[in-house]
Amino acid sequence: MRSPSILNQLKNSPALEILQKIGRQARHMQPHIVGGFVRDTLLGRDSFDIDVVVTATDNQNGITVARQLAQNWNGKVKMHLNFGTATVECRDGWKVDIVTARRETYAKPGALPKVEFSNLLDDLWRRDFSVNAIAASITPDQFGQITDPTGGMDDLKKGLIRILHAESFTDDPTRIFRTVRYASRYNFQIENQTVALLRSTLDQIKSVSGSRLQNEFNHIFEESMAVQIIQRLSALGLETILCPEWQVVPQLGERWQRIRKNLGWASQYLTSYQFNPQDFFWMALDLPNQVQKMLSFSPSLQQKLVEQTKLAHRLLEGTLTRRTKPSNVYKLLKPYSLEPLVYHLPQPQIEQYLTKLRHIQPNINGKDLIDEGWCAGPKLAQILWERFAQQLDDEARADKVENQAC
């Protein structure tokens, strides 16, 4: 019986040439494409991150292959010595992960695995889901031939996400996030036994380090179905596990749409500032302090979340209205980072501050006042602010008149 092949799908792939080059160079190490690249190719989806697994020899592994490729392609290589893996970044934009075939064992839930070099079948069985455990040879004489020991091809046809081991979620609880993420991305069902095991091990998420949990959420934020993924995790009881006081807000979808709209506005009007979209998505989740600490947020992100909450309260109090003088708008919003301000758009006074008021520089300083005869001291600072406030109000009024004339 002829082995199944991915060759037809690869014929029109922009990756074909690079795969053929890798296959020729590493033919003595049984190179195979694996994981997401194979899965997406079989589903007819584009994929630009290539995963290649090679079998170690006496003096070569994935790292030596990656070094050779980087040298040949004038690319950059990033090595992970403990795992025998490396990433090659090519000048034409391709990224190739070279993995040494291995088996893994876990000392405790949530811990990083202990690695031992092995063969292709062991490497496929160590993976998370059957649909990610399909391999295709890229050696010249067997190019495209598929190895599928776990039934991943059938699960792709059925639209199923299925884990490979009963201990899979216990070994690596972050697979809980990936289960829901893949199911939502591809509109697949989660296989019944997988659902049962997921629910029974949900509390193991608490054993995962904060940085790994944060990374899983950041991956969710990159998905077009991010809101549905978070709501699906919520329905499974995720927020109860992380913090009983936390509930995913019903208006999360509306917030997501507003964030994308506001970031589009910022890209047009705040071009000198580079925003990280993840900051805004974290703001939308209204995370309790307990969860923020659990996720090991950076001090910078923590500060932005504090500011966002404080600004939300000020806006609810009706502090900013159309009647608020520009100088008072400036005084109220000046202490905030740009991210919380952009998050709360559309709000006319915030937009006025971001596009106009924050750029106005005082036309008088302390030396000027001293030259006028004022004495240095607290009174001087008060006068400086009064003069600047008048300047803000006058310039804003002049802009308004000019805009009306146009």
**Close Cβ partners of 56 (under 8 Å, ≥ 6 residues apart):** 29, 62, 84, 100, 101, 117
Contact 76, 88 (CB under 8 A): yes
Q: What is the pLDDT of residue 105?
A: 78
- Of residues 56 and 351, the one with the higher pLDDT is 351
Contact 168, 175 (CB under 8 A): yes
Question: For residue range 291-324, what is the model confidence (pLDDT) as tens digits?
Answer: 888 898 999 999 999 999 999 999 988 888 889 9
- Does 340 sit behind a cis peptide bond, omega within 30 degrees of 0 on the bond before it? no
* 76-80 and 102-105 beta bridge pairing: unpaired
Count the Cβ atoms, other than its own, within 10 Å of residue 149.
15
Question: For residue range 215-264, what is the model confidence (pLDDT) as tens digits?
Answer: 999 999 999 999 999 999 999 888 888 888 888 888 999 999 999 999 99
pLDDT at residue 400 tops 70: no
Q: What is the pLDDT of residue 382?
A: 84
| 278-282 long-range Cβ contacts below 8 angstroms, 24+ apart | 278/218, 278/221, 279/304, 279/339, 280/339, 280/342, 280/343, 281/221, 281/226, 281/256, 282/217
Q: What does the radius of gyration of the chain's CA atoms come to, in whole angstroms?
A: 28
Question: For residue range 185-204, what is the model confidence (pLDDT) as tens digits?
Answer: 999 999 999 999 999 999 99
Describe the chain by its helix, strand, coil percentages, rounded to 5: 55, 10, 35
pLDDT band at 1 (very low <50, low <70, confident <90, very high): very low
Residues paired with residue 32 on neighbouring β-strands, in sequence order? 53, 137
**Close Cβ partners of 321 (under 8 Å, ≥ 6 residues apart):** 349
Question: For residue range 151-160, what is the model confidence (pLDDT) as tens digits?
Answer: 999 999 999 9
| Angle ∠(366,371,372) on CA atoms, nearest 5 | 95
Mean pLDDT of 376-389: 82
Count the Cβ atoms, other than its own, within 10 Å of residue 220.
20
3-state secondary structure labels for all residues of 187-227: CCEECHHHHHHHHHCHHHHHHCCHHHHHHHHHHHHCCCCHH
Question: For residue range 85-140, what is the model confidence (pLDDT) as tens digits?
Answer: 899 987 677 789 999 999 887 777 666 777 788 999 999 999 999 999 999 999 99
Q: In whole numbers, what is the pLDDT of the chain averaged over residues?
A: 89
CA distances (Å), origin 306, targets 202, 218, 290, 309: 29, 19, 13, 5
Q: Which of 104, 106, 114, 295 is nearest to 205 (CA)?
A: 295
Confidence (pTM)? 0.84
- The rounded distance, in Å, linking the Cα atoms of 33 and 9 is 13
pLDDT band at 354 (very low <50, low <70, confident <90, very high): very high
